[in-house]
Amino acid sequence: MRHALIAAALIAAATPACAADKYAVAKNESVALALDEVHTLTFRAPVATVYVGNPTIADVTMIDARHAFVQGKGYGRTNVVALNRDNVQVFNTHITVTGIDSGSTVTLNRGAQRVTLNCAGGRCQPTPMPGDDLKSYDALTGQTAAHQNVARGLATSEARAN
């Protein structure tokens, strides 16, 4: 009986603190990620709505009510705010998106024209990045899109065959 009373007292004492923490806004910690990279956000409480201050800088994809992916889409700084079912803010953090810092990225400048290369494994490959020369950027992104479409088509035809 005595142990049950102590347990009940501890639960009652902890309940207000837990309830207050459940809806507390996260500390103003910021998330830094490189362009085109993904970071996992974990919410302390289930969320129903997520807002991104500037969706050209970052995008959020919900995994479940307590987890989301944030992707760096453009250079800059924005914030992410999450609300629960009662429209109470339960999360607010800054997102800073920077350039790729892999140690293998090389920027080649020819006058006013810029091209970005990824030089890994002893070989340099063009890597279109915002700010690159428009002609080479468009050519590379077009080739990449065509390559992805071919791969999707092959995957779809293989799936149908099985």
* Domain boundaries defined on the chain: 24-98, 105-155
Residues 6+ apart with CB under 8 A from 52: 58, 59, 60, 78, 79, 80, 95
Q: 31-70, pLDDT tens digit by residue?
A: 999 888 999 999 999 999 999 999 999 999 999 999 999 9
| Residue closest to 79 by CA, chosen among 47, 23, 41, 36 | 41
Higher pLDDT, 158 or 79: 79
CA distance 72 to 53: 13
The answer to whether 92 and 122 are in contact (CB under 8 A) is no
Q: 61-114, pLDDT tens digit by residue?
A: 999 999 999 999 988 999 999 999 999 999 999 999 987 766 788 888 989 899
Which range, 21-35, 65-79, 134-148, is most confident? 65-79
Q: Which of the following CATH numbers is that of domain 24-98: 2.60.40.1080, 3.30.565.10, 3.30.1490.100, 1.20.1250.20?
A: 2.60.40.1080
pLDDT at 27: 52
CA distance 146 to 149: 5
pLDDT at 82: 96
